[in-house]
Structure 1
Amino acid sequence: MADADADSRPNILLVLTDQERYDASAPGDPQVKTPGSDRLSDKGVRFEQAFTPISICSSARASLLTGRFPHRHGMLNNCHEPDALQPNLPTDFPTFSEELANTGYNLSYIGKWHVGRDQTPEDFGFSYLGGSDRHHDDIDAAFREYRKERGVPLGEPSLEDQIYTGEDPRDASEGTLVAATAPIDVEDTRAWFTAQWTIERIKEYANGSRDTPFFHRTDFYGPHHPYVVPEPYASLYDPDDIERPDSYAETYDGKPRVHENYLAYRGVDGFDWDLWAEAIAKYWGFMTLIERQLERILDALDTYGMTGDTVVVHAADHGDFVGHHRQFNKGPIMYDDTYRIPLQIRGPGFKTQSSCESPVYLHDLAATFLEIGGVDIPDTFDSRSLVPFLDPDLENPAEIDITNGRYGKSDYWPRSIFGQYHGDEFGLYSQRMVRTAQYKYVYNGPDIDELYDLEADPSELQNLIDHPEYDAVRREMRQRLVKWMDRTEDPNRMWVTDALEDAS
């Protein structure tokens, strides 16, 4: 007999991947095997127009926690670098995790953190289970102990098929490791370990008291570079079978100078298509490795009888160029390659086999988690709950009035997405972006602005900023950006909005 005092709110499981492209798991694209995402989409809602507010790890992850745009939480670049503008996230902002913990949720966390040089998930309401790495966090020794017990060294001294940035892509003495084959078992990978510890946590919840709901967060390291994977995933995709993306035809004609500069800065200006195809094959292999781990986690929910009362969310902090536009990693280049992200949500009573075309943000998940948990959304949040899009009884959720303190008491779902970038180790600078279903406008203070017609040019190859036939579009997009900067109290609005209005 159920306890009358038991908390009946659903459990929530968030699986966040690191630098995952939207298109690799997009519907109708059979190139990459994504069984976990496909399963979530089949039983839930796939958001086709989900975007990160910023394409850099610490900033995006801080937005997810706080429900705020980066310029409103202040962590504008990566916290582990020596040029970090803000090494730690201010603790006076409400976070979704602390709000859930304060109302009875049992929170746990495994994997990558990267939100605060001196902070851990435990500073924000989570019980941290391990799985970090030395480069970003080094806040536990769990994975190192796991590998030691299995007799496998943590390092990768005998990698095969390596690709490095620099003049000689096979020379390990210079450049950054891009991709390689790891001569280890799948069970020795961090991806397997992260999934296994998640499964153990699910088992603990299943065998313990169910009077208190849980929120568990699993953050995979990947498919962020280096794309180092073991067999069978390292050779799962044949480079000869990979189709060259349309954006590979990039010439940088009429584009901001930093775009082409980044080829040399990242060390890939000498990469040809054969090399990129080899790297993409490893990236896809890394994706499928993680997808299999997501599938194991979903199987565990089934095995332990937790599926019926658990909401499952899969998203990514941002995307990855991996050869598109001939670029590597990410940077001050605001294409959909790094700003559009995968997002699937499944849960009890939600829509199934459904897709949503409304534009949404990664940090909208902060408000979504709170509404699912029956917790009031703080006025400090810039995010809006996605629950209306999950409700099977709402036919047109984008057309109904929604409530959010930042945007007024009543409003309709926005039709634009706004993004920003503030620089990384290449240097600090300011960019802003606004994107509708058809157009994208990018404000570049030190250089030429960008305007793309996404219907005519989905690969964003032709910059139309000075095209006379797009004068009205340019003015309208700039006006949208001005209004957003003013509404969200962007600190640059006093300077940038004047420039944009004068230029319109």
Structure 2
Amino acid sequence: MDNPNIVLVHCHDLGKYLGCYDSAVETPQVDALADSGVRFDRHFVTAPQCSPSRSSLMTGRHPHQNGMLGLAHGNWELHDEEQVLPELLREAGYETHLFGLQHITEYPNRLGYDESHSEEPLTADAPPSVHESARARDVADEFAAMLEDGDHDDPFFASVGFFEAHRVEENGDFGFEGERYGAPAPEEVEPLEFLPDEPGIRSDIAEIHGMLDAIDDGVGTVTDALESAGLTKDTLVVFTTEHGLAMPRAKGCCSDQGIGGVLLWSRPGTVEPGVVDDLVSNVDVFTTLLEVAGAPQPDTDLAGQSFLPLLEDDDDEDFRERIFAGMTWHDRYNPMRAIRTDRWKYVRNFWHLPDVYLTRDIFCSAAGSEVRKTSYGEQRPYEELYDLEADPLEKENLLADGDLDDSAAETARDRLRDELLEWMETTDDPLLEGPVLPGDWDEIRLRNEE
């Protein structure tokens, strides 16, 4: 087979909370996938939230370039002219399949899949966070059934989307359905290093463990099904997520805990196992998958670049010197843009918001309650700078007092501030024109002018 099958397995709100990334959890199936291929240790996403980040994975462009400045069920849509991964792969001769979650658009037909195996469409009154048809074990079983029933002489692309580990609302509170998933007792889990060890936080961590078991089982079902069908060597399996854990100081934040995500890349016999420590963005995944498939790149201003050279030469120091990320809308206006290098992180905030932004699902959670007590009333600074070598958890904002005593930090601030602005200008970021209105802001402006 000239071009491999491609199976893109993705889930919600996971970050790098996996055994293969040295977290204190047991994920044997995911860890086995990592051992069989390449683990990207510094893979980052373009937004610490679902739809915008996923839009970058599917278009190779930042959310403010492709139009997805907020959630798909919040009246945000990709620009009409955007070309998406399954559409481009289908044009290149791939049979394309959608299993489970997508959460990029309310109109999944525009994504270009030949067949959707999901039982429920994505609609405004039924956001994907409550779709029973997207539970990991069920979605993986549907994929396995497709392999058993089909003729796969032609290459196929399968998007396999898991609901977990997304919070679920019950009586106004958001948790991870610990009882449903058989979560361990809170005292049996390790605290998260970027959060205090408080009871509400620990109880939420325990519930995440239950959902992790489902994700791990789903990945195992996918890889076992490929092996049973004799397709392991003919298939590239990619496992990723769209942003960090649904916990304070992660989801909804441009910290590494918010924009760092798993990326595993496995094709036994073709891809040599190993670890890539270069900076990689999820816009690069789009570009690389098209190259793997022998498909042409779209005629748009792509933000990504192929990282295939990194799989052949891990000393490629010229791949990326920096990655960009940002956020505009979630359940409220939260405009921020960030630039990260090997050593430095610079964040520019554009609105008056609490120091620790909590998305609604985190705000109304046990962990969110713990953090609100001490941090929610503080004002967020307009500029943040972190020395990631000295402060990997980003606890000390070097710009908090306004004055910099360190010449290296001052040089970094000036350089990254300029580079961030240049990037915003080059990519036509609407934040440069002022506050971004929700939904179709062009239509709103036209109405205001009438």
Normalized against structure 2, the TM-score is what?
Answer: 0.80
Q: Which residue of 2 aligns with 1:335?
A: 255
Q: Which residue of 1 aligns with 2:189?
A: 242
Of residues 372, 385, 390, the one that matches 1:456 is 390
Q: Which residue of 2 aligns with 1:223?
A: 165
In 2, the alpha carbon distance for the partners of 1:486 and 1:315 equals: 30
CA contact (8 A) 1:108 1:215 kept: yes
Q: Which residue of 2 aligns with 1:168?
A: none
CA contact (8 A) 1:199 1:300 kept: yes
Shift of 1:356: 0.5
Of residues 303, 309, 320, the one that matches 1:414 is 320
Number of aligned residue pairs: give it.
391
Q: Which residue of 1 aligns with 2:361?
A: none
Q: Which residue of 1 aligns with 2:15?
A: 21
Shift of 1:131: 4.7
In 2, the alpha carbon distance for the partners of 1:488 and 1:26 equals: 35
Q: Which residue of 1 aligns with 2:413?
A: 474
2:44 is the alignment partner of 1:66: no
In 2, the alpha carbon distance for the partners of 1:109 and 1:354 equals: 29
Instruction: Could you tell me which runs of 5 or more consecutive residues in structure 2 were left unpaired when the two chains were aligned.
Output: 169-175, 352-380, 436-450
Give the direction of change, closer, same or farther, for the CA distance of 1:480–1:373 in structure 2 (3 Å limit).
Answer: same
In 2, the alpha carbon distance for the partners of 1:314 and 1:34 equals: 13
Q: What CA RMSD, in Å, does the superposition of the two structures yield over aligned residues?
A: 2.6
| Counterparts of residues 268-287 of structure 1 (less than 5 Å) | 273-287=198-212
In 2, the alpha carbon distance for the partners of 1:135 and 1:93 equals: 20
Q: Which residue of 1 aligns with 2:99?
A: 110
Report Cα offsets for 1:55-88 as digits up to 9, x if no partner.
121111221111111110011001212xx3x3x3
Query: What amino acid is the match of 2:6?
Result: I
Q: Which residue of 1 aligns with 2:359?
A: none
CA contact (8 A) 1:68 1:383 kept: yes
Query: What amino acid is the match of 1:484?
Result: W
CA contact (8 A) 2:233 2:270 kept: no
Shift of 1:436: 1.2
In 2, the alpha carbon distance for the partners of 1:229 and 1:110 equals: 25
Query: What amino acid is the match of 2:161?
Result: D
Query: What amino acid is the match of 1:481?
Result: L
In 1, the alpha carbon distance for the partners of 2:144 and 2:416 equals: 46
Give the direction of change, closer, same or farther, for the CA distance of 1:248–1:190 in structure 2 (3 Å limit).
Answer: closer
CA contact (8 A) 2:60 2:283 kept: yes
CA contact (8 A) 2:233 2:269 kept: no
In 2, the alpha carbon distance for the partners of 1:19 and 1:133 equals: 21
In 1, the alpha carbon distance for the partners of 2:389 and 2:105 equals: 39
Shift of 1:133: 7.4
Q: Which residue of 2 aligns with 1:165?
A: none
Give the direction of change, closer, same or farther, for the CA distance of 1:35–1:473 in structure 2 (3 Å limit).
Answer: same
In structure 1, the residue corresponding to 2:144 is in which secondary structure? helix
In structure 2, the residue corresponding to 1:370 is in which secondary structure? helix
2:3 is the alignment partner of 1:9: yes
Give the direction of change, closer, same or farther, for the CA distance of 1:449–1:463 in structure 2 (3 Å limit).
Answer: same
In structure 2, the residue corresponding to 1:80 is in which secondary structure? helix
Give the direction of change, closer, same or farther, for the CA distance of 1:285–1:448 in structure 2 (3 Å limit).
Answer: same
| Counterparts of residues 197-208 of structure 1 (less than 5 Å) | 197-205=142-150, 208=151
Q: Which residue of 2 aligns with 1:366?
A: 286
Report Cα offsets for 1:261-315 as digits up to 9, x if no partner.
xxxxxxxxxxx81122111011022112211111111111111101010000000
Shift of 1:134: 7.1
Of residues 73, 79, 83, the one that matches 1:80 is 73
Shift of 1:123: 4.1
CA contact (8 A) 1:36 1:291 kept: yes
Shift of 1:28: 3.4
Query: What amino acid is the match of 2:295?
Result: V
In structure 2, the residue corresponding to 1:221 is in which secondary structure? coil
Shift of 1:421: 0.6
CA contact (8 A) 1:114 1:136 kept: no
Shift of 1:109: 0.6
CA contact (8 A) 1:113 1:132 kept: no
Query: What amino acid is the match of 2:16?
Result: Y
Query: What amino acid is the match of 2:412?
Result: V
Shift of 1:121: 4.7
Shift of 1:34: 1.3
Shift of 1:484: 2.2
| Counterparts of residues 262-411 of structure 1 (less than 5 Å) | 273-322=198-247, 324-325=248-249, 330-331=251-252, 333-380=253-300, 381-391=302-312, 394-396=313-315, 398-399=316-317
Say which one has the larger Rg: 1
In 2, the alpha carbon distance for the partners of 1:112 and 1:50 equals: 22
In 1, the alpha carbon distance for the partners of 2:11 and 2:19 equals: 12
Report Cα offsets for 1:375-403 as digits up to 9, x if no partner.
12124122112222233xx353x34xxxx
Give the direction of change, closer, same or farther, for the CA distance of 1:318–1:28 in structure 2 (3 Å limit).
Answer: closer
Report Cα offsets for 1:32-57 as digits up to 9, x if no partner.
11122211211110000111101121
CA contact (8 A) 2:72 2:105 kept: yes
| Counterparts of residues 83-102 of structure 1 (less than 5 Å) | 84=75, 86=76, 88-102=77-91
In structure 2, the residue corresponding to 1:420 is in which secondary structure? strand
Query: What amino acid is the match of 1:423?
Result: W
Q: Which residue of 2 aligns with 1:213?
A: 155
Normalized against structure 1, the TM-score is what?
Answer: 0.72
Give the direction of change, closer, same or farther, for the CA distance of 1:50–1:316 in structure 2 (3 Å limit).
Answer: same
In 1, the alpha carbon distance for the partners of 2:328 and 2:204 equals: 28
CA contact (8 A) 1:44 1:350 kept: no
In structure 2, the residue corresponding to 1:20 is in which secondary structure? coil
Give the direction of change, closer, same or farther, for the CA distance of 1:382–1:473 in structure 2 (3 Å limit).
Answer: closer
In structure 2, the residue corresponding to 1:215 is in which secondary structure? strand
Give identity over the alignment, percent: 29
CA contact (8 A) 1:65 1:366 kept: yes
CA contact (8 A) 1:121 1:127 kept: no
Give the direction of change, closer, same or farther, for the CA distance of 1:429–1:42 in structure 2 (3 Å limit).
Answer: closer
Q: Which residue of 1 aligns with 2:377?
A: none
Q: Which residue of 2 aligns with 1:431?
A: 336
Shift of 1:461: 1.1
Instruction: Could you tell me which runs of 5 or more consecutive residues in structure 1 were left unpaired when the two chains were aligned.
Output: 1-6, 147-188, 250-271, 400-411, 497-504
In 2, the alpha carbon distance for the partners of 1:468 and 1:218 equals: 50
CA contact (8 A) 2:13 2:246 kept: no
Give the direction of change, closer, same or farther, for the CA distance of 1:51–1:136 in structure 2 (3 Å limit).
Answer: farther
Shift of 1:348: 4.7
Report Cα offsets for 1:168-194 as digits up to 9, x if no partner.
xxxxxxxxxxxxxxxxxxxxx922211
